[in-house]
Structure 1
Amino acid sequence: MIDRLEKEVDMLERHLQVLRMVLDNEPIGIVKMSNETGYPHHKVRYSLRVLEEENLIEPSSQGAITTERTAEFVDELDEKLDDIGDKLSTMRIEDPAEIEG
């Protein structure tokens, strides 16, 4: 169960790193992103597809570019991540004796 969550967080981190590269370097292509991040081309391509499905980027003849929705998403991102962090913090079991009952 936790392993799946960790994999999802890792994938989200990759998607956000790819989005950050587009924001900082648009237009930017898969090869450059792969070379700079160290992620294989297929993982960068998948992240780009996810970001495109969310309307955060769009393809151009010269590489990925941001959309009108990107700025709004970025503005809300920190708050959403803080909310998720708070929710995860409430899931902690501080005292192992609580489990034993």
Structure 2
Amino acid sequence: MVSRLQALGLSLLVLYFAYHAFAGEKGLGRWTDAQIELEAKQLELAVVQKDIERLQVDIRRLTPGSVDPDFVEALARDKLAFVYPGEIVLLTPERSSAN
């Protein structure tokens, strides 16, 4: 038969492991937090992958030998504010992040 001291020791050991299984650093509570973090990182990864795909398309459009003149014109107009003679340019105030 098991002595009371052994039963108490065994009970404490079971309680110790049960506590750490639920509330410990790698317990069930942390596991759910890790699942939420994983989902957020997967969404971030999807956004980055779409950016990469878009940039790869832009690179192909600017590769020597297959340059897309319409894309070059759009970049020049957007980034360098190029306009054709006789065009009228309307400037609008830019919205800042404070508005």
TM-score (norm: length of structure 1): 0.30
Q: Which has the higher contact order (CA 8 A, sep 6+)?
A: 1
